[in-house]
Structure 1
């Protein structure tokens, strides 16, 4: 299918979804989505159907319709602990990664090694606002941490933008989603949230850490288990704990929650041109640019 045909199909599906939502708006609460680019599959957190359209890295704009969350966000560090787990036997742990065949636009840097480094403890994300440090659940999610470490070494995340700010008002959740290498995060690009690393891998640690404030997890399409890629999200409030155990939690923020709270309180930009209509491009009004990622 050509890029034009795919775009036309997505636009038609968008219109059909809008009509369905309008009909059901008075009966049910808006569906909650979180996800990462996938072929013709609606994803949780608003990251969805694959397309050949690719976003760039221009600076974000606030010229689109704008709103601000009313829910309060404390800068106190989260209290959710990482459940203790016996050290894994490195000789028995291996990881498998496979090509992403969904058609999502990808920044390909190869495949991670099959043997993970089980000694990794922290992930430091340096942003334009400062450093965010994550205590890693390496024993519980070794292949997820292995993928993140591989992408970090390849500078995959450098100069990428966090493309989606979800709040109780726009999606029923509280989160910041990052990891799409193609995202413009300007509230205008219709395909934000669809970029990937070109490979996928299986779920881990499902239900191992509640999605309360401070938890960090991988994004993947709803009802498409074992399709993890490069995208991940920070829980910014306990509203996100309502999600089912369908996403891989790999750590908890131990430093930099004040940065995330500032972004959360700054509100979001509504993107009227989101081709899926599911909120995948609700960019934060305060731009978040990842400058570097390191695992140690």
Structure 2
């Protein structure tokens, strides 16, 4: 005759077996890394959720980790925010509009409308070494124009890359000048420059190792946050690719091996244990 202790052991064993099976299923699904972005600010992974802040930024204080594939709708704004216009090739101008989200920002002004489309490269001088990026000025002129402006204003100087993904989501996100990257600051990933601009270069966009792309919270919400991919990602073409790393990817490989700090969004991403601080950003007039 089974005793109460026998029953407890049986239940514990069944619970453990169910947990083990779920872990195996999660690992199998992670390998597929099928990620879907939504304008509600959620990145859905088949079988799990990546917090929206993993690839977005720009001051949405309501952005949170999701617990289901269908987020609760937010209250509609009292008036529609201005929508930035795409690059005007005829006049060579960009449109930068005020960030109506009202999130934390480091305001240094607004970039000039006229974009310089000559070839350029960007050097991120970080605490771990230099990362050099060949910029896609011809395909993402407004994005490059914004980065050139922010670099000149020393906007990125002293900022910390606040989010790194695991092997299944190999990216490092930077560009929030207010991030503490300590695993404790709830507003990491919300900082921006106080303006937004349109998406670019999305047709046939690929997110492979070395690609540098803009983080966003939906169409036309680019600010200053960006991510560097040190593996291969399967993402929808929603994030403006504006450059390719030509030097320094081994830095990200090394940092990734150290892992991330606890206190992330519960999706395996978090502030890197090995801090990556951007000392300065310089943009030269040649690729």
Same fold per TM (> 0.5)?
yes
Distance in 1, Cα, partners of 2:269 & 2:90: 42
Unaligned runs of 5+ in 1: 1-23, 45-87
Aligned positions of 1:61-76 closer than 5 A: none
For residue 4 of structure 1, what is the aligned residue in structure 2? none
Equivalent of 1:215, from 211, 229, 234? 211
Q: TM-score, normalised by structure 2?
A: 0.71
Deviation (angstroms), 1:280? 9.8
1:187 Cα deviation from its structure 2 partner: 1.2
Consecutive aligned runs of 4 or more in structure 1 exceeding 2 Å deviation: 24-28, 39-44, 88-92, 277-281
Any conservation in 2 of the 1:163–1:281 contact (CA below 8 Å)? no
- Per-residue displacement from partner, 1:259-291 (whole Å, max 9, x unpaired)? 1111111111121xx6xx465971001000100
2: CA distance, partners of 1:101 / 1:280: 30
Note the 1:1-296 alignment, pairs <5 A.
Answer: 29-32=47-50, 33=52, 34-36=55-57, 37-41=59-63, 92-168=91-167, 172-221=168-217, 224-238=218-232, 240=233, 242-271=234-263, 277=265, 282-296=270-284
Question: Aligned pair in 2 of structure 1 residues 279, 160: CA closer, same or farther (>3 Å)?
Answer: farther
Partners of 1:126 and 1:293 within 8 A in 2: yes
RCO higher in structure (CA 8 A, sep ≥6): 1
Are the aligned partners of 1:156 and 1:181 in contact in 2 as well (CA < 8 Å)?
Answer: yes
- Count of residue pairs brought into register by the alignment: 219
Structure 2, unaligned runs of 5 or more: 1-21, 27-45, 67-86
Offset from partner CA, 1:20-60 (integer Å, 9 cap, x none): xxxx998951123421132434589xxxxxxxxxxxxxxxx
- Counterpart secondary structure, 2:251: helix
- Structure number with greater Rg is 2
Q: Note the aligned Cα RMSD (angstroms).
A: 2.5
How far apart, CA to CA, are the structure 2 residues paired with 1:103 and 1:220?
Answer: 15
Report if aligned partners of 2:139, 2:200 keep a CA contact under 8 Å in 1: yes
